Amino acid sequence: MTSSTEAVTREWEGLTIPTPGTYVLDAAHKRVGFVARHMMVSKVRGEFTDAAATITVAEDPMQSSVTATIQAASIQTGQADRDGHLRSGDFLDVEKFPTLEFRSTGVKSRDGNEFVLTGELTIKDVTRPVELEVDFEGVGRSPFGQDIFGFSAKTEIDREEFGLTWNVALESGGVLVGKKVKIEIEGEAIRQA
């Protein structure tokens, strides 16, 4: 942590951003969620409750990087039978593949506080490129003296591209589980060094 007299923010292209350093995702202030279509008529929302990330803010913000690990067994949708099925070999196969991994490969500035974080997402044994639309939400110091910043991110993936192909055809047409999955992430990161 920096001393109270040391600068913790800086100006960059009209934004107040953190000074360079290493930050970790605050477990108490994060959500790694997803939304998938169910029976072609509704949405199922869920989240992974156990996720960790390290964010390295570089001197040149466009050289910053992120690595994240999500514990696959922490998936929750509010329905125990469905959660068990999602953990099974039909979907995440958490016994064989206990984590989902993300590693950034680049950052692009979009507009104002909006950025695109490119990277590689690994689910099971399949790695695919993804682009996360990121909103930088702000930077500050907590009442506990921790330097923090907030962010939200979203993307959409085709689950079948990651080998998550289980499905059931419906008599009325369509399938039980949609192919597209929206990923929604919100969090705070705390300075470590």
- pLDDT one-digit tens code per residue, 114-137: 999 999 999 999 999 999 999 999
For residue 91, CA distances in Å to 1, 37, 72, 80, 167 come to: 41, 15, 10, 15, 10
- Segment (H or E) for 122: strand 114-123
What are the chain's domains?
Answer: 9-191 (2.40.128.110)
Query: Can you give the pLDDT at residue 1?
Result: 45
What pTM was computed for the model? 0.89
Give the distance from CA 58 to its chain's centroid. Answer: 20
Question: For 22-58, how does the pLDDT look when each residue is reduced to its tens digit (9 = 90+)?
Answer: 999 999 999 999 988 765 667 889 999 999 999 999 9
Query: Can you give the pLDDT at residue 55?
Result: 97
**Least confident stretch, 99-108, 159-168, 172-181:** 172-181
**Least confident stretch, 8-12, 58-62, 177-181:** 177-181
Query: Can you give the pLDDT at residue 170?
Result: 55
